[in-house]
Amino acid sequence: MRTPRALILLVATMLVPALISAQTYPSTTDPRSKLKSGRLDAGTASSNMRLVSFSPKPAQFDTARGLTFINSDMAFATHYVYQANFAGFQIWDVTDPAKPVIASVVECITSQGDPSIVGNLLFISAEGAGNRNDCAKGGVKDPKDHMAGVRIFDVTNPRAPKLIKNVQTCKGSHTHTVIPSPTDKNVVYIYVSGQQAARPATELAGCKNGTDPADPTNSLYRLDVIKVPLDHPERSEVVTGARIFTGLDPAPVTPNRPVGGAGRGRGGAPGDTSAAPLALPVHTGPRNCHDVTAYPAMHLLAAACTSYGLLVDITNPEKPVRLAAQSDTNFQGWHTAVFSNDGKKVVFTDEWGGGTGPMCQANSMMEMGGNTILTVGADKKYTQHAYFKLPAAQSAQENCVSHNGGIIPVPGRDLMVQGWYQGGVDVMDFTDADHPKEIAYFDRGSIDPLPGADIPIQPPTNGPGAGRTQGTIGGSWGAYYWNGMIYSSELDRGFDVLELQPSDQLSANAIAAAKLVTMTEYNPQSQPKFVWPAAFPVVRSYLDQLVRGKGLSAERTTAIAAALDAAEQKSGAARAVVLNVLAKQVDGDVSGAKDADRVRMMSAAIKALAAASK
Amino acid sequence: MLKRLASAPALSALLLGGPALAFAQGGSMTGMSGMSGMNMPGHIVIPKGAIYTVADVQFMQGMIAHHAQAIYMSRMAEAHGANPRVLKLANKIDQSQVPEIRIMQGWLRRYGQYAPDTSSWRTMQMPGMLTAAQLKELGAATGVAFDRAFLNLMIQHHNGALKMVDDLLAAPLAAQETDVNVFANDVVAAQTAEIGIMQQLLSQLPAN
């Protein structure tokens, strides 16, 4: 509201969306579209990846009661995977990814449980109205027992995690994002994305559920920011609010307008005597984010905030500055963001249907419930490119929409693996922002049996004991690449480990190059910058890409492949000499190459390998 | 074609559950018929120890009727000559709310509560729902007049859904059951965003 000119521009961009290519409707003849249903015996289909292991839910969580016991997101450290659940979390020891072993199961009612790991501290998002300070079941009888914010566990002993602090926040924590302090190694900040209205001050002092976005005391239009002193996590507290929405509210109040001047108000439908007009103020500008993804190495934050995707400078995490805002009314709700490794692209997802709806059916709208690719210009503004949606039609029994994922570190390409709930695990190549495409997938049939109809609404079967036979929510909450494997959190079934397999879409060299990137800690919403060591698979990844994309003549790629083989036979200084000669030749290839950039990247990788061979 | 649709016999067919509402249950013309036993509106029994409340059950039951009317309205768009962007929004509301009705019905049945069907909007009146006069007005409108009426009425309708969530959250001990909690949040997120879209679409309509 303070910057009317910017607002007008912003509205204008919303009203005149660029023409963006959408895919055709999903295939109904894809192998994924005809899989046998079943909870633990469903049919599977995969392409260019294989299931390494499946581990069912531990008994504590193995009870199907709607969403109460579903698995949610994951965090990674050393040989442990922290898999959250709406009723607690479980720690998997994945020393052998083919045989994950439970280190511990912690029962603690905490929807939705979004986890992050920093050293020995595990942070867990708490949002639901039934979450208690003491983790117990039974719901909140006294508001003072209500836990909405971020729980901090000490997991020094992964077999016996200890709850050490509940940090209460005004809007609770649907998700959260860890941002290391750029100046103090002992401090991390946690950006808290709360979906709910602010609690009243009577429940949590200092909270205010106001209606004015510009009111600095209003708790609604901000992300609470928690400061965590790592050596004294019990002193963690909310220190400020990230007010990244200011000026983004083009429609402060919605008065109800009379329709045609007559027939409004009283009168009533059959049986109605009280249809009074409503005049609720509705702020349609964003007041919260579903999820924000930090890229600390770039001091950037991509924030998925209901009706907008934002780009935010987080050089000072206590004083974030909004750089860009992209709106797309085709999106139901901007949900999650993932940066490309170079930070020049951001994938945003749309969680149409909230994750519980079957939004990947053959007739589901294509611009909704998928991904869109934005590029980040030198001016740090967004430009929207294509949409991407799962290309295989899913059944009405399969809750399906684009969901959480992360980058697969293949040099020279932008690959993202993500969960699509019961749409399965999917790998999208978005190297070309205008033509994203699928290169690998893993999928199971629906958990519930299939009825014959597309959109069934069954006749009521009332009375106690009329148990549900339909409506089980499941599938992959999130799928992430971590140290050579893809880990997927299955809401209803358990825990999957997958591995990429070489194909014409992704070479063995590319997979080997990705495996050279090792991490000791990984929170997908606090994105690490991947750096590849000097190695033959890295050079050959570029070479394979040049062959696949015909970015360099076949004659030259064949010669370079032979030269690399010869260099590998040598060692030390002799290898360096051969590689330097090769690099010079490759530099000479740049000008005549169709994909000059990639040839340059290959040359740099050859030079790095030469330097490492001395 | 459009004129004929808006004529009296056709309109009454629409209002009373003709073939236009393709997914309504055959047979039962009202959401309340066929009930027997304890689990019916106004007679909700919550088992001891349950984490959900009467307010949760009423919310889920009422929102089925509320959604069903929104779907009914949305399915009018094509035949009434809505502009492509309004039609797209109408399709989106249709595709979004059909599975949500399934979720609500599934939840109610799981807990042994009465689950209204999609004809229930004709007999249950929830906040923001259209009056008979408003329905008549919408049914008689075509082209830009339909767009304007649809957007205004659907904004009213969505505001009612937000009010239903507010009322739920204000009820003692309500919305603690995980599914209700998640669903209520999803309703707010989806419908707030759609109100924003509808306001934009309204502002783009040609002047009267």
**What per-residue confidence (pLDDT) applies to A244?**
92
Partners of residue A266 in chain B, C-beta under 8 Å:
131
Contacts of B137 in chain A (CB under 8 A): 259-260, 262-263
Q: What's residue B40's pLDDT?
A: 55
Please name the member of B25, B34, B51 whose beta carbon is closest to the beta carbon of A130.
B51
Q: Are A488 and A496 in contact (CB under 8 A)?
A: yes
What's residue B54's pLDDT?
96
**Of A360, A241, A344, which is closest to residue A289 (Cα–Cα)?**
A241
Which residue in A437, A444, A324 sits closest to A395, CA to CA?
A444
**Residue A11 pLDDT exceeds 90:** no
| Separation between Cα atoms, residue A536 and residue A508, nearest integer Å | 12
Average pLDDT over residues B45-70: 96
Contacts of B187 by beta carbon, 8 Å cutoff, 6+ apart? B63, B100, B161, B162, B164, B165
**pLDDT of residue B16 exceeding 50:** no
Best residue in A278, A288, A308 for a mutation probing chain B (most B CBs within 10 Å): A278
Cβ contacts of B190 on chain A, cutoff 8 Å: 332-333, 354
Q: How confident is the model at residue A166 (pLDDT cuts 50, 70, 90)?
A: very high
A364/B95 touch (CB, cutoff 8 Å), yes or no: yes
| Strand ranges inside B91-174, DSSP E | none
Range with lowest mean pLDDT among A6-15, B8-17, B62-71, B75-84: B8-17
Q: What is the mean pLDDT of residues A521-544?
A: 98
**pLDDT of A262 higher than 50:** no
Q: Is the pLDDT of residue A355 over 70?
A: yes
Residue to mutate among A15, A202, A284, A461, with most B CBs inside 10 A, is: A284
A98: Cα separation from own chain's centroid: 25
DSSP A202: T
The mean-pLDDT minimum among A156-170, A290-304, A320-334, B18-32 falls in B18-32
Q: Would you state the torsion angle of the CA atoms of residues B103, B107, B112, B117, taken in this order, to the nearest 10 degrees?
A: -30
Q: With a cut of 90, say whether residue A119 has pLDDT above it.
A: yes
Among residues 55-114 of chain A, which lie with CB inside 8 Å of chain B? 65-68, 86, 111-112
Per the CB < 8 Å rule, is B130 touching A365? no
Contact A290, A319 (CB under 8 A): no
Which pLDDT score is estimated for A284?
Answer: 60
Residue A62: predicted pLDDT = 85
- B-chain residues near A261 (CB < 8 A): none
Is the confidence at residue A281, as pLDDT, over 50? no
How far A268 CA lies from chain B's nearest CA (Å)? 4
Residue A358 pLDDT greater than 50, yes or no: yes
Task: Give the confidence band of B42 by pLDDT, cuts at 50, 70, 90.
Answer: low
Question: A285, B196: Cβ pair inside 8 Å?
Answer: yes
Mutate to test the interface with B, among A457, A468, A470 (most CBs of B within 10 A): A457
Confidence of residue B28 (pLDDT cuts 50, 70, 90): very low
Instruction: Identify which has the larger pLDDT, A470 or A499.
Output: A499
Q: What is the mean pLDDT of chain A?
A: 88
A374 Cβ contact partners less than 8 Å away, ≥ 6 residues apart? A309, A326, A345, A346, A347, A348, A382, A383, A384, A385, A433
Q: Is the pLDDT of residue A532 over 50?
A: yes
CB contact under 8 A, A270 and B130: no
- pLDDT score for B7: 35
Q: Do B176 and A128 touch (CB under 8 A)?
A: yes
Model confidence at B2: pLDDT above 90: no
Which residue from A437, A424, A444 is spatially nearest to A488, judged by alpha carbons? A424
Site from B96, B168, B187 to mutate, A interface, most A CB atoms within 10 angstroms = B96
Torsion angle, alpha carbons of A73, A78, A79, A82, to 10? -20
- Residue with the bigger pLDDT between A22 and A176: it is A176
What proportion of chain A, given as a percentage, has pLDDT over 70? 87
Share of chain A above pLDDT 90, in %: 78
Chain B residues in contact with A359 by the CB 8 A cut-off are 95, 99
Mean pLDDT of B125-138: 97
CB contacts, 8 Å: B106 with chain A: 468, 470-471
For the segment A208-251, what is each residue's pLDDT rounded down to a tens digit? 998 888 888 999 999 999 999 999 999 999 999 999 988 876 53
Choose between B42 and A301: higher pLDDT.
A301
How would DSSP label each residue in A382-437? EEEEEEE--SB---TTS-B---EEEEE--TT--EEEEEBBBT-EEEEE-SSTTS-E
User: Which residues, numbered 293 to 322 in chain A, qualify as contacts with chain B under a Cβ-Cβ cut-off of 8 Å?
Assistant: 306-307
Question: What does the pLDDT look like over A480-496, one tens digit per residue?
Answer: 999 999 999 999 999 99
Nearest to A165 by CA among A226, A104, A119: A226
Residues near A144 by beta carbon (within 8 Å), at least 6 away in sequence: A203
pLDDT for A246 equals 84
- DSSP string covering A18-68, please? PP---PPPPBSSSGGGGPPP-SSS--EEEESEEEEEEEEPPGGG---STTT
* Residue B9 in this model has a pLDDT that exceeds 50: no
Q: Do the Cβ atoms of A464 and A73 come closer than 8 Å?
A: no
With tokens 């399934």, the residue in question is B102
Give the per-residue pLDDT at A470: 67
3-state secondary structure of A308: strand
* Distance in Å, alpha carbon of B1 to nearest chain A alpha carbon: 23
Is there a cis peptide before residue A112, judged by omega within 30 degrees of 0? yes
Per-residue pLDDT at A306: 84
Residue B65: pLDDT above 80?
yes
Query: What is this model's ipTM?
Result: 0.86
Name the amino acid, one letter, at A94: V
Instruction: Please give, rounded to a whole number of angstroms, the shortest distance from the CA of A61 to a CA of chain B.
Output: 14
Tell me, rounded to whole angstroms, the distance of Cα A133 from its chain centroid.
28
Phi, psi of A66 (to 5 degrees): 60, -130
The structure tokens 């790998």 sit at A427
Looking at residue B41, its pLDDT comes to 57
> If pLDDT is split at 50, 70 and 90, which confidence band does B31 have?
very low
pLDDT score, position B208:
67
Chain A and chain B share a number of CB contacts under 8 A equal to 238
Per-residue pLDDT, averaged over B48-64, amounts to: 96
Instruction: Please compute the mean of the pLDDT values over residues A299-328 and round it to a whole number.
Output: 94
Inter-chain contact A139–B51, Cβ cutoff 8 Å?
yes
Residue A521: in which H helix or E strand, if any?
A: strand A521-522
Is B161 within 8 Å of B187 (Cβ atoms)?
yes
Contacts of B124 in chain A (CB under 8 A): 271
B149 vs A259: CB contact, 8 Å cut-off?
yes
The first and second tokens of residue A257, run together, are 């307008």
- Measured between CA atoms, the residue of chain A closest to residue B107 is A66
Alpha-carbon gap: B160 to the closest alpha carbon of chain A (Å)? 7
On the question of pLDDT at A274 being above 80, the answer is: no
Are A353 and B96 within 8 A, CB to CB? yes
For A286, name the nearest residue in chain B, comparing CA atoms only: B193
A467 near B CB under 8 A: yes
Predicted pLDDT of residue A129: 93
pLDDT of residue B6: 34
A357 and B100 within 8 Å at the Cβ level: the answer is: yes
* Cα of B18 to nearest chain A Cα, Å: 16
Residue B155 has pLDDT above 80, yes or no: yes
CA distance B16 to A343: 56
Return d(Cα A610, Cα A226) in angstroms, integer: 46
Q: Is the model's pLDDT at B105 over the cut of 50?
A: yes
Listed by number, the residues of chain A in 223-262 with a beta carbon closer than 8 Å to a beta carbon of chain B are 251, 254, 256-257, 259-260, 262
Residues in chain A with CB shorter than 8 Å from the CB of B127 are 278
* C-beta atoms of A455 and B182 within 8 A: no
pLDDT, greater one: A541 or A366:
A541
pLDDT tens across A565-591, in order? 999 999 999 999 999 999 999 999 999
**pLDDT tens by residue, A56-107:** 999 999 876 789 999 999 999 999 999 999 999 999 999 999 999 999 999 9
Q: What residues of B are in contact with residue A253 (Cβ under 8 Å)?
A: none
pLDDT tens-digit map of A285-296: 688 899 999 999
Choose among B82, B91, B196: nearest CA to B150: B82
**Is the confidence at residue A457, as pLDDT, over 50?**
no
Phi, psi of A288, deg, nearest 5: -155, 165
CA dist A164 and B98 (Å) reads: 43
Is the pLDDT higher at B204 or at A529? A529
